[in-house]
Structure 1
């Protein structure tokens, strides 16, 4: 599929950013940290789906 690599890279970057934000927040605000982690996990699921498709 055209552009799938690009979108995969963008998802990976977003996942990494959210995980870093979650880590940074973990000592300051656990609730926000958990929310960032949940967002990252959703993106992780999308990445897994892309892996399965191609």
Structure 2
């Protein structure tokens, strides 16, 4: 019953993941490939965390 008010950590990480991907896309469009690579790497780390949490929940 009280689980209704718990925040979903996967949802929070997925939002951060989507934001990183969008920032990476914008950096790529501007031609800043170094920033694109850094943001892509950060988004991959977030995706790994999301997958780990989903495995734990299952």
- TM normalised by structure 1 equals 0.86
Let me know the Cα RMSD of the aligned residues. 1.3
- 2:55 aligned with 1:49, yes or no? no
Name the count of aligned residue pairs. Answer: 52
Greater radius of gyration (CA): 2
- 2:33 aligned with 1:8, yes or no? no
Unpaired runs of 5+ residues, structure 2, are: none
1:23 corresponds, among 18, 22, 25, to 25
Once the 2 structures are TM-superposed, how far is the Cα of residue 7 of structure 1 from its aligned partner? Answer: 1.4
